Structure 1
Amino acid sequence: MRNVVAYLLVSLDGVAEAPDQFVLDFDEVMYANLGRVIETQDAVLLGRRSYDEWAPFWPTSSHEPFASFINAVDKYVVTSTPLEHDWASTTVVDGSVEDFVRDLKQQPGGDIGVHGSLALTSSLLAAQLVDRLRLVVAPVSVGEGRRFWDGPGDARRWELERVVGTPTGSLLADYRAEPSS
């Protein structure tokens, strides 16, 4: 079975909204970590807001390794309205997101990534469909903003698989969801 892997940039106080405002020093260890995360993924789930922000930007971007990855990977966009921007390898999720993700997890392939997309990440966590968290914790407190774990919780334990500090003071933490009891 495939894993759903949520990759998020967060502040020390858990804010994940607008990480470009507080993750200012993306160092070589963080780039290597991003490469490690995306090399196992062959599908990405995106919320509508992330899609609308990313579709005009990434096709002409040279920010590697993510640009080549996100432009080529199969993208599944959760939305109830037609998309305004064309982007290669994009499919709109029709119907229940939870059912779609459960079905996608059963199909052959690599990991299924969730990048950004806070509302989608939160709903997948609440439905216990996220198998792994890949967090980049920036050494700053933001004070306010949306957190990736807003709303109803996923009441289960997470096992720490890996933790690495970076030269710029960020913490890279990988967690695996423990089976629900």
Structure 2
Amino acid sequence: MRKLMVMAFVSLDGVVQGPGGPDEDREGGFTQGGWAVPFFDAAMMGLMAEGAARMGALLLGRKTYDMFAAAWPLTTADDPIGARLNAVPKYVASRTSPELSWRNSTLLDGDVADAVRKLRQEEGGEIQVHGSGDLVQTLLAQDLVDEFHLLTFPVLVGSGKRLFGTGTTPGAFKITGSTVSETGVVISSYVRDGALTHGLLGPETGNW
């Protein structure tokens, strides 16, 4: 079974909307776009390139696909991230039937969750989801995420779309790696670790 990994830029208050620019996603009247940009440095780009090297396929929502398709094909051959994104199969979840111009792109048929389950059963490398906030909510609700790579930025955005919505399926994860960039971004990886468990904390229980 293929692993499905979600990579997200997230603020301290959980916002994932519009990290890359003012006009990236203004849905809901969002005005804080571009909040992640001042924190990027060479070390962060290097870590992202390492993640891209593990990519066997890219799974995107329609809005993120359109943004990626407009930018990444223009990158030069010596850009390791762009080269990988251009080369791998790309699967797109959309409520409409768009024309997909980026090479190696396929529109998912039928129910998105069922289509993703089929993809995970196929042979191949890691399926990665970048951005695609609405799609991520569907994947979380259907318990289809195996791993998170989170870049947590030291900012409070205030309002906007959150990474973990109300439909998130409970579960446990374990951290497999963590580092802090020179600009203060915490870069962490988490993998599934079974079901959510519960306990009781207090001096009367001895768990204090």
Give how far 1:175 is off: 0.5
Q: Does 1:154 align with 2:172?
A: no
Give how far 1:139 is off: 1.1
Q: Distance in 1 between matches of 2:129 and 2:59?
A: 5
**Contact 1:6-1:132 at 8 Å conserved across structures:** yes
Give secondary structure in 1 for the equivalent of 2:85: helix
Q: Distance in 1 between matches of 2:116 and 2:62?
A: 16
**Contact 2:55-2:84 at 8 Å conserved across structures:** no
Q: Deviations over 1:56-101 (max 9, x none)?
A: 2221135943221211111000013222451100000001211111
Give how far 1:143 is off: 0.7
Match of 1:22 in 2: 35
Match of 1:53 in 2: 67
**Contact 1:9-1:16 at 8 Å conserved across structures:** yes
Kindly tell me the number of residue pairs found equivalent between the two proteins: 181
Aligned Cα root-mean-square deviation (Å): 1.6
Give secondary structure in 2 for the equivalent of 1:120: helix
Equivalent runs, 1:23-172 vs 2, <5 Å: 23=36, 24-62=38-76, 64-172=79-187
Give how far 1:118 is off: 0.5
The structure with the largest strand share of the pair is 1
Q: Does 1:2 align with 2:15?
A: no
**Contact 1:50-1:116 at 8 Å conserved across structures:** yes
Question: What are structure 2's unaligned runs of at least 5 residues?
Answer: 21-33, 197-208
Question: What are structure 1's unaligned runs of at least 5 residues?
Answer: none
Question: What is the letter of the counterpart of residue 131 of structure 1?
Answer: D
Give secondary structure in 1 for the equivalent of 2:6: strand
Larger Rg: 2
> Between the two proteins, what is the percent identity of the paired residues?
36
